[in-house]
Structure 1
Amino acid sequence: MIQRQETPEALYIHIPFCTNKCHYCDFNSYILKGQPVMDYLDALEREMEQTVRLLPPGQIQTIFVGGGTPTVLLPDQMESFLKRVHTYFPDKSAQLEFTMEANPGTTDLEKLQAMKEGGVNRISFGVQSFDNALLEGIGRIHNTDDVYRSIENARQVGFSNMSIDLMFGLPNQTMAAMKDSIDKALELELPHYSIYGLKVEENTLFHNLYQKNLLPLPDEDDELDMFLLIMKRLQAAGYGQYEISNFAKPGAESRHNSMYWLNRSYYGLGAGAHGYMHGKRHVNIKGVQAYIDATYKGRPLLEENEISEQEAIEDFMMVGLRLLQGVKRTDFKRQFGLELDTIFSGQLTKLLGQKLLEATDEGYRLTEQGILLGNDVFGEFISITAE
């Protein structure tokens, strides 16, 4: 199993601070006010040092800084943070993709300049909607003016590789509002768009409202129509749907997220971060102060589990089929030394018969219907014993 031998070429770093907590968010994030930000960055450095001592990096291909909202860091904090990243994970690849998540309204010119000078070359903006009433209703603190200002600032500093997130299935969202958001998003002529349906997660304000029947969600048919509209509009505008939720101009696909979808190893650093190194998946301690304290004693692990070959095989199918190119026999053989068609003969025959999968020259991929019923497809590959 290749994951037990390969050195990760991808790095994820978690900055858990936010200006506020959105109503739908169950990510490991905390309101910025009063937080020990510099102590956290010092703790991150200790985890970096411990991690590279355990598993020295080779040639890192992708870095992704997520949150939380990494761009709540002040310019001097941003500069300090990025210097530390390059100290322990030096930029050896001329093709390094270095992405940072950002919220509109948290990226002034000075901060963007610090990001640019610190090696960030891709920004993913959490826009979610171009309807100010919807933004307020989901707990976002930015408005559409902030979106335009942030993207203009980024372009002024020299960023061209940018993406925005849009959401559908929001409370009180209509087809007309969805169409308007797509229109305005496409007018920006960005190279990449990510589209996510709202999921009502536990331990969120929306979950509490949903339990009380106070969350006015669109019905399932309207939500499906929104997704179909998004796919149609983006494809017509020249964006390839390379993953269920992601669309890009040729060459602008997210290389970092593709590492996950290809079931590759990656470093995961920061409070609550997940990582996958030498065949073991780990989750870090989540609380900010608890994480800081733990780094004085060693790696700040909440739990670490060795992934069996069976689990890795299932993961390969479930994440790999999210890619519209599908899964490849050669990739499966390279990772596991096994034949894809032999291991999953019954499941593949069933899904082909249901027209949820189709065969390609190299393997298998979702059909148009399969894209809409992805979870049903992925579920077929759980708890299959490798032969």
Structure 2
Amino acid sequence: MLLYIHIPFCDSKCFYCAFNSYTTKFKLKDDYMEALKKQLANNLKRHLINTNKKIETVFIGGGTPSTIKASSYKELFDLIKPYLIENAEITTEANPNSATLSWQQEMFDLGVNRISFGVQSFDEKKLKFLGRAHSSQSAIEAVNNAKKVGFKKINCDIIYGVVNDSFETLKKDFDIVKDLGINHISAYSLIIEENTKFFLDEKSLKKEKKSLKIDDEDLSYEIFDYLAKLGFKQYEIANFATSEEFESKHNYGYWKHREYLGVGAGAVACINNTREYSEKNIEKYIENPLSVEKEELSLEDIKAEKVLLGFRCKFGVEIELLNKNELKRAEDLITEKKLELKDNRIFNNNYLLADELALYILD
């Protein structure tokens, strides 16, 4: 069982961000954390008490978890502690401008053992263009503070495919990550999503046949090859680690279609093939944190997700999952060396083709 905890508060709204996060509702923080505790306690009672299920990983995401004082998390950790497996992976996201040395130390003392920094770039002009609130130097200081505190597992998010990006400029970002001794990189290609500043800007630019985004597959391959040279092995389309020890075990659960709890405004859970969607609006969530919308997943829905996610990462797809016609199409791709069959699982070694291959097989 996985657990995701959503914190919807941010110091500033990045121009590309479509997550459920807010910069003007800080006065609701205390009430929100109380609502979180209520929902978490309810979910633990519903799904874990009197069962053999345990929480294997915890991920605190957002928004910006580091905008909440560390002491406010203590009661959440008290609730989940009895259900945690030994040496459970517990991750928190953090932004360099709010993840102070003292905040990181307090979170570490609570039991957090993995930290993920939303750096996105070490280039000052690019940070400003993206609407990031931190500087390159503050990002470096935040990472060094994490190492001082004792974090062994540190991730750095980097965005690429932004207008004016080049392989040479991105190499500089990755070189800094390497020099800092970071052992995990999440490298995301920019996506222009609705309800963002970039989405509105992009609509205006299209009239001039311009774009904020670079759609360059060759650039992605160059990045992947360079990260491999730096010692970062790709294990999912956007995730790279220096060894298996530093790969995100929480993400493993999603890719393997494991059950997960989700608490917080807009959080999603999936238990017994049923998705539960929490209220997105913060005020409504605080008023009734136990209110959820449910969606029953069909066997076909589940299969489609397993195939798509399996092809996007190192775990592949069980061959028994496919029917006769799907298996025939998969065999065609194996013959063409686009897929590989090993130990009754089908593996895709080119994650950029994951969607295309999955759609071909499931057509």
Asked whether the two chains share a fold, i.e. TM above 0.5, the reply is yes
- Structure 1's 162 and 19: CA in aligned 2 closer, same or farther, altered over 3 A? same
Matches within 5 A, 1:124-139: 124-139=116-131
Output the CA distance in 1 between the equivalents of 2:258 and 2:360.
Answer: 21
C-alpha spacing 1:19/1:246, structure 2 compared with 1 (3 Å): same
Q: Distance in 1 between matches of 2:223 and 2:24?
A: 34
Are the aligned partners of 1:12 and 1:66 in contact in 2 as well (CA < 8 Å)?
yes
Deviation per CA, 1:231-278: give whole Å up to 9, x if none.
112212222211111111221110001100001110011000011012
Matched residue of 2:96: which SS?
coil
The answer to whether residue 59 in structure 2 is matched with residue 81 in structure 1 is: no
Q: Which residue of 2 aligns with 1:344?
A: 326
- State which of 335, 338, 352 in structure 2 corresponds to 1:356: 338
CA separation in 2, counterparts of 1:200 and 1:354? 33
- The residue correspondences of 1:240-279 to structure 2 (distance < 5 A) are 240-250=233-243, 251-279=245-273
Give yes or no for the alignment of 1:59 onto 2:54.
yes
Which residue does the alignment assign to 1:234?
Answer: 227
Amino acid at match of 2:36: L
Tell me whether 61-70 or 357-366 shows the greater mean CA deviation: 357-366
Counterparts of 1:233 and 1:243 in 2: how far apart (Å)? 16
Distance 2:246 2:325 in 1: 33
- Seen in structure 2, the aligned counterparts of structure 1 residues 381 and 115 have a Cα distance that, compared at 3 Å, is farther
Percent of aligned pairs sharing the same letter: 34
- Contact kept? 1:105, 1:147, Cα under 8 Å: yes
Q: Match for 2:217: what amino acid?
A: L
Native 8 Å contact 2:316 2:347 kept in 1: yes
Unaligned runs of at least 5 residues, structure 1: 1-8, 330-337
- With over 3 angstroms needed to count, the CA separation of the structure-2 counterparts of 1:340 and 1:272, relative to structure 1, is same
1:44 and 1:269 in contact (8 A); partners too? yes
Q: Secondary structure at the match of 2:38?
A: helix
Q: What SS does structure 2 have at the residue aligned with 1:352?
A: helix
Give the superposition deviation at 1:122: 0.2
Partner SS, residue 5 of structure 2: strand
Unaligned runs of 5+ in 2: none
Q: 1:180-259 to 2 correspondence within 5 Å?
A: 180-213=172-205, 216-217=211-212, 219-220=214-215, 223-250=216-243, 251-259=245-253
Moved more, 176-185 or 191-200: 176-185
SS at match of 1:217: coil
Residues 182 and 230 of structure 1 are in contact (CA less than 8 Å); yes or no, is this contact kept in structure 2?
no
- Report matched runs for 1:131-150 at 5 Å: 131-150=123-142
Residue 219 of structure 1 and its aligned partner are, at CA, apart by 4.1
Q: CA deviation at 1:308?
A: 1.3
Query: 1:284 Cα deviation (Å)?
Result: 0.9
Shift of 1:346: 3.3
Q: Pick which of 166-175 and 41-50 moved more.
A: 166-175
Change (3 A) 1:258 1:355: same
CA contact (8 A) 1:242 1:323 kept: yes
Look up the equivalent residue of 1:236 and give its one-letter code.
K
Normalised TM-score (structure 1): 0.87
Q: 1:85 and 1:47 mapped to 2: Cα distance?
A: 14
Deviations along 1:22-44, whole A, 9 cap, x unmatched?
Answer: 10011010115543101000000
User: Hey, what does 1:335 align to over in structure 2?
Assistant: none
Residue 272 of structure 2 aligns with an amino acid whose one-letter code is H
| Partner SS, residue 202 of structure 1 | coil
SS in 2 for 1:96: strand
Tell me how far apart the structure 1 counterparts of residues 321 and 226 of structure 2 sit (CA, whole Å).
38
Q: Deviations over 1:102-159 (max 9, x none)?
A: 1112111211111011110000111111111001001101111011110111111111
Q: Does 1:119 align with 2:111?
A: yes
Post-superposition CA distance 1:268-316 (Å, at most 9, x none): 1100001101210111110111100112xxx221x21111112111111
Provide, for residues 319-365 of structure 1, a one-character-per-residue CA deviation record: whole Å limited to 9, x for no partner: 12111242234xxxxxxxx5546473133134335543222233111
Per the normalisation by structure 2, the TM-score is 0.92
2:64 to 60, 66, 69: 69
Aligned residues: 356
Structure 2 CA distance for aligned equivalents of residues 181 and 48 of structure 1: 38
**3-state SS of paired residue (2:258):** coil
SS of structure 2 residue aligned to 1:233 = helix
2:348 maps to 1:366: yes
Checking the alignment, whether the CA contact within 8 Å between 2:274 and 2:294 is kept in structure 1 is: yes
Equivalences for 1:42-57 in 2 at 5 Å? 42-56=34-48
Where does structure 1 differ by over 6 angstroms across 4 or more consecutive aligned residues? none
Distance (Å, rounded) in 1 between the aligned partners of 2:253 and 2:76: 23
Label 1:315 to 1:117 Cα distance change in 2 as closer, same or farther (>3 A). same
Structure 2 vs 1, CA of residues 91 and 152 (structure 1 numbering), >3 Å: closer, same or farther? farther
CA contact (8 A) 1:123 1:163 kept: yes
CA contact (8 A) 1:314 1:381 kept: no
**Aligned with residue 306 of structure 1, among 289, 296, 302:** 296
1:178 maps to which of 164, 170, 175: 170
Inter-CA distance 286–89: structure 2 relative to 1 (3 Å threshold) = farther
Partner of 2:357: 377
